[in-house]
């Protein structure tokens, strides 16, 4: 990678199917957020290929925009944050603890706080399963409905602010965050743990997910789930080259590696 790299905002917008120019408005923020969420998959294949996760702007741009591939939270939200800032939005990173298991994680999830005309919004294009499709106002108790899913923010001591989703008749915790300043080193530390620790789900399970307006397609190791208008179809993929064909078909992911390059994985429940 050369030192002459320049961020190409037009190429980014073209990747997610948007024509410029972009106004600094709440409507534009939602347009950008939904376009990326529906176009760029959440996936962790580089970890299982032994490539690691490089958060340099040049590497993220080449991987996600030019290849094109997907990524996980530090990649997807990191690149999206840079796009917003380049377009003129006032936006900063935040870090969150994931609460989808028995114990909350460390601050290993990145999202963004965007301020438009004095009003604050939470933007997150990199949570994976059950993640936001559009930004939500940073207002406690307000229910935000997106593609049939209901989200809200609540105060949740001692963790700070909790993002919840309404499922099975209950409000379920997704992740908690606060407004503490986030340094580049905080992001690097979280990314290192998430992409290298044997305690991290992403080091031993293949995952990919891509939402759309009627549902979502998700991969958990060999289990492919398609949700469309409330109907759920599950397929078990077979190991081998056909596996790579299916992930390209459903997620647009071309690994350019033989199937054998992927580490063996266990068949476990999906996490974010």
221 neighbors 265 (Cβ within 8 angstroms): yes
- Delineate the domains of the chain, giving CATH numbers in brackets: 9-198 (3.30.2140.20)
Indicate the SS3 state at residue 111.
strand
Mean pLDDT within 91-99 = 98
For residue range 212-223, what is the model confidence (pLDDT) as tens digits? 999 999 999 999
CA proximity to 96, closest of 127, 72, 70: 127
Given a cut of 90, whether residue 268 has pLDDT beyond it is no
* Listed residue (103, 47, 91) closest to 71, CA to CA: 47
Using alpha carbons, select from 82, 37, 10, 96 the residue that is nearest to residue 215: 37
Does the global pTM surpass 0.75? Answer: yes
Q: Could you report the per-residue pLDDT of 43-90, keeping only the tens digit for each?
A: 999 999 999 999 999 999 999 999 999 999 999 999 999 999 999 999
Look at residue 266 in the predicted model and tell me its pLDDT: 52
Write down the pLDDT at residue 79: 98
């Amino acid at each position: 990678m050369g030192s002459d790299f320049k961020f190409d905002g037009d190429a980014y917008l073209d990747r997610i199917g948007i024509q410029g120019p972009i106004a600094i408005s709440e409507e534009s923020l939602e347009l950008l957020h939904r376009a990326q969420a529906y176009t760029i998959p959440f996936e962790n294949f580089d970890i299982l290929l032994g490539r690691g996760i490089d958060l340099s702007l040049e590497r993220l741009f080449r991987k996600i925009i030019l290849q094109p591939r997907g990524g996980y939270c530090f990649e997807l939200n990191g690149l999206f944050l840079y796009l917003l800032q380049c377009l003129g939005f006032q936006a900063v990173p935040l870090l969150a603890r994931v609460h989808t298991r028995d114990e909350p994680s460390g601050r290993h999830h990145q999202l963004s706080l965007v301020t438009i005309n004095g009003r604050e919004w939470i933007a997150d294009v990199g949570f994976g399963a059950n993640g936001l499709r559009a930004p939500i106002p940073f207002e406690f108790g307000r229910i935000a409905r997106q593609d049939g899913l209901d989200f809200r923010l609540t105060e949740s001591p001692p963790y700070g602010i909790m993002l919840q989703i309404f499922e099975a008749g209950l409000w379920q915790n997704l992740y908690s965050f606060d407004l503490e300043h986030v340094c580049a080193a905080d992001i690097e530390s979280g990314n290192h743990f998430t992409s290298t620790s044997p305690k991290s789900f992403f080091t031993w399970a293949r995952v990919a997910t891509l939402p759309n307006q009627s549902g979502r397609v998700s991969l958990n190791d060999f289990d492919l789930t398609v949700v469309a208008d409330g109907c759920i179809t599950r397929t078990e993929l077979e190991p081998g080259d056909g596996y790579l064909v299916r992930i390209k078909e459903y997620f647009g992911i071309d690994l350019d590696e033989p199937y054998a390059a992927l580490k063996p994985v266990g068949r476990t429940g999906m996490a974010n």
